[in-house]
Structure 1
Amino acid sequence: MRCISVRYEFYAIFCFLLPYFRIKAFKKGTMHFEFLDEDIWMKFNQTVAKLRGWSLPKKRK
């Protein structure tokens, strides 16, 4: 899996590939995180929900 930098007319995308996720940084200041492992993504969501006092939906059987 490769991550490349692409320059567009109005904004630039900078992409970093790390062991657990990929980060895309946009010139306007936003960032997109894409988790490469679903188990780590679930653990991240559970940790953030617990810290923020949010509830996550129950798993379906």
Structure 2
Amino acid sequence: MCATEKLLERIEFLRNKMTEIALDKGFTSAESINISQELDRLLNLYNNVKQSQK
């Protein structure tokens, strides 16, 4: 499995986890925000990888 596929898997995992936690603890809970920030970081990384491949 290539790095891009692993990155996409991690992004999908965090999306699901963030949804679960946000529904359970609230969208503004510290845990939801931390996951959201990590997800943002990974999405930016993914976009950078895709741009560099063009």
Higher relative contact order (CA closer than 8 Å, sequence separation 6+): 2
- Say yes or no: TM over 0.5: no
Larger Rg: 1
Structure having the higher helix fraction is 2
Q: TM-score range by the shorter chain?
A: 0.3 to 0.5
- What's the TM-score once normalised by structure 1's chain length? 0.31
Q: Please report the TM-score for the alignment, with normalisation by the length of structure 2.
A: 0.34
Greater share of strand residues, 1 or 2?
1
